[in-house]
Amino acid sequence: MDVADLSPAQARERFRAGERVPTAGWCRGWTQANLIAVPKRLRYELLLFAHRNPQACPVLDVGEPGAWSTRLFSGDLRTDLPGYRLYRDGRAAADLDEVVAEWRADLVPFLIGCSFTFERALLAAGVPVRHLETGRNVPMYVTDIPCESTGSLSGPLVVSMRPVPGDLVERAVEVSGRYPMVHGAPVHTGDPSAIGIRDLARPDYGDPVEVREGEVPLFWACGVTPQAAVLASGVEFAIGHLPGHMAIMDVRDECYQVT
């Protein structure tokens, strides 16, 4: 069975069983989300940080302290993603297959929109998506664009990149722009150095993809941004998804499309 045809529950079962893969292209038509779970004492700061940086951090759902399901994610947030990253004192402490032991009772999970959600719409509009073609993870980069900070959270904007043929750039902007809750239109097109990216071949997260002759790199705000803030702000404890290894939610991607 093609992973695109799996239901969210079926995909989560496979991840729970140990499959560790990027989720681009999985569960066609279902919304994917970034995970960032922080101690309760930081939940206000994180929600405010998300509010102040809505393009990078569109909050799709928030759980109660210690909960591992939310209204829009009926699986188990501790086991049903294909990979996790644990943060301690502002450092990436470990990459893990599951985080049952680490899921503290005071942990508040936030699910943040993901641009994988509009890739089906890009394909339907004739815009190729290179990392889907090549079965790789999307490349993600830390930019030199600072986020709007809160009292204790600050950090740089993280972006995902998709190379798009020059004559399809406008269409890609228009199509993704219809999905404001999953990052919307690109934040930048063209020269990577203009946003502080030195080498497209060396992404900070995910896999590099080829940018071919006549193609323009398009950069979208990325839901890994809260993890970059956790790093930059020395947050004592947090759990994120492994970038590109998303939570697959029980909500259709059409729900985040505006007309």
Could you list the residues that contact a copy of itself (CB under 8 A)? Answer: 43-44, 47-48, 51, 59, 62, 64, 151
- Residue placing its CB nearer to a copy of itself in the complex, 62 or 129: 62
Output the CA–CA distances (angstroms, integers) from residue 247 to 110, 113, 178, 226, 241, in the order listed: 11, 10, 22, 15, 8
Min dist. Cβ of residue 88 to a copy of itself (A) = 23
- Residue placing its CB nearer to a copy of itself in the complex, 45 or 80: 45
- Residue placing its CB nearer to a copy of itself in the complex, 38 or 211: 38
Min dist. Cβ of residue 59 to a copy of itself (A) = 6
Min dist. Cβ of residue 235 to a copy of itself (A) = 16
Output the CA–CA distances (angstroms, integers) from residue 67 to 30, 35, 47, 103, 227, in the order listed: 22, 13, 17, 9, 20
- Residue placing its CB nearer to a copy of itself in the complex, 43 or 188: 43
Min dist. Cβ of residue 109 to a copy of itself (A) = 13
Residue located via tokens 């699986």: 75
Q: Which two tokens mark 72?
A: 């829009």
Helices of type H across the chain = 8-16, 43-52, 119-124, 130-133, 169-177, 225-232
Min dist. Cβ of residue 47 to a copy of itself (A) = 5
Q: DSSP letter at 73? A: B
Q: In what order do the strands lie in the sheet with 140-146?
A: 140-146, 156-165, 215-221, 188-189
- Residue placing its CB nearer to a copy of itself in the complex, 101 or 105: 105
